Chain A
Amino acid sequence: MWKRDEAVKPTTPAGPGPMPPAPAVGAPPAAEAARTTPSDSPRGMEKTTVNIGKSVVIKGELNGSEDLTIEGQVEGKIELRQNVLTIGPNGRIKAQVFAKSVIILGEVTGNVTATEKVDIRDNGSVDGDIAAPRVAIAEGAHFRGSIDMQRTGGKAETKADAKPTAASQSRPEQHAGTPAGAAR
């Protein structure tokens, strides 16, 4: 009786709005394949993350509008244009990937395109080309391919700043705090 009472209790307190409280979404305990956390809100306001478990193998096209974490295997194409894709440590991807942001802790073979950032964490591996405005690669990550950080604005200014100036080239040979490297 105790448990039955709890099961029908709403997981979130009823809001002030006109909508009735949402019933709890009961995920089966073993349903790791497509687990959604936190519970879906009927208002569709809360951000959700879907997990694809490590025993799951998907071949084909994967589209969505929620953040997604993949611990299994995916072959084909992944498209989450407005959301964050996380390839977990057990994730094995052979696919073209398009997302807002991609965080890689597992293995990816294929091209990765992100509108915001690609982040290859320690022990993450990418064999393919990356296109994103920002790319972070941790120590210990593996990468082979090309990196294209398409910049939308201020390219010329940044470039001019980055160029070594005549002054910097003609600076004295000694470099402060560089005991080994000052050229003769």
Chain B
Amino acid sequence: MLTDLLKWGGKRPGASGADPSRPGNGEDMVVASKALPKFLNALGQQSSPVLIDFGPVIGSNVEFFGERLGCKLFIEDLIGEVDRHTRAATLPDLPSTFEKRFRHGDASADGVLCWDIFDFLDKNAGQALARQVVRMLRPGGAVMSFFCTSGVEGATFTKYEIVDDVTLRYRRHSGVGGHRRAVQNRDIIRMFEGLIVSDQFLLKNNTREILLRAR
């Protein structure tokens, strides 16, 4: 347990610089999620929930949320956006991009799937995106977001595929990736001012799963 706590302080991973919590080139990782069932439970309380997904489009996720839960799903693919900005070396423009990008009205979404997007954003971009999330979320709505426990240079993006109500498959994204930053808990709370952290889990793969709710 002590070693786990030390990892939260932003210690570098192994000498290889690879991210041990994410899939490598070859294999996918199947991970039991603790936050996902709670997130689904929150969505299930709405009759026709509106869900915003910041990840790339994944057919099985669309089927899961659309056919099984009856969600109206908005795919925003911010990983793709970050990838484009990284390739074009225009990452400082991300905050203004986030300010303009979303067409959703205030308090219009029941759920937001952020996945691990905040790990790949600098402070300004993260704050700009979090402001949009808080703005778009309805009272009672839920946000699921993943955070790493230690920074990694040259990390790859991850696609999260829903296997079932409690299981995710981590798959490697083909994008260029970027620097993963470990966002401290206090910074998460500040970023999402207006939301409350309802659940937080530290998985064995050192992923922090955080569920936020709008009051």
Contacts and interface: CB of A to CB of B under 8 A. Distances in A.
Interface of A: 134-139, 141-149, 151, 155, 158-159, 161-164, 168-169, 171, 173-175, 177-184
Contacts of B76: 144
Interface residues of B, number: 39
Interface stretch (B62-70, B92-100, B137-145, B175-183): B62-70
B31 interface: yes
Contacts of A173: 32
A179 B30 CA distance: 8
Contacts of A147: 62, 66, 72-75
A169 B42 CA distance: 13
Nearest to A174: B32
Given A135-B63, A164-B37, A178-B31, A159 B44 contact: yes
Contact of B68 (A135, A162, A183): A162
Q: What are the nearest 9 A-B pairs in CB distance? A: A181-B31, A175-B32, A149-B66, A163-B44, A137-B59, A162-B68, A181-B32, A143-B57, A164-B37
Interface stretch (B82-90, B110-118, B119-127, B162-170): B162-170
Nearest to B57: A143
A180 B204 contact: yes
Interface of B: 4, 21, 29-34, 37-38, 40-41, 44, 57-59, 62-63, 66-70, 72-77, 165-168, 201-205, 209
B30 A151 contact: no
B204 A184 contact: yes
B79 to A, nearest CB: 12
A183 B204 contact: yes
A139 B75 contact: no
Contacts of A135: 62-63, 66
A139 B40 contact: no
A138 B30 contact: no
B73 A138 contact: no
A164 B34 CA distance: 12
B203 A181 contact: yes
B165 A180 contact: no
Contacts of B32: 173-175, 178, 181-183
Given A142-B57, A164-B41, A171-B166, A183 B34 contact: yes
A158 B64 CA distance: 11
A164 B205 CA distance: 24
Given A158-B70, A162-B68, A183-B204, 13 more contacts: A134-B67, A137-B57, A141-B59, A147-B66, A147-B75, A159-B44, A162-B40, A164-B40, A169-B41, A175-B167, A178-B30, A181-B167, A184-B202
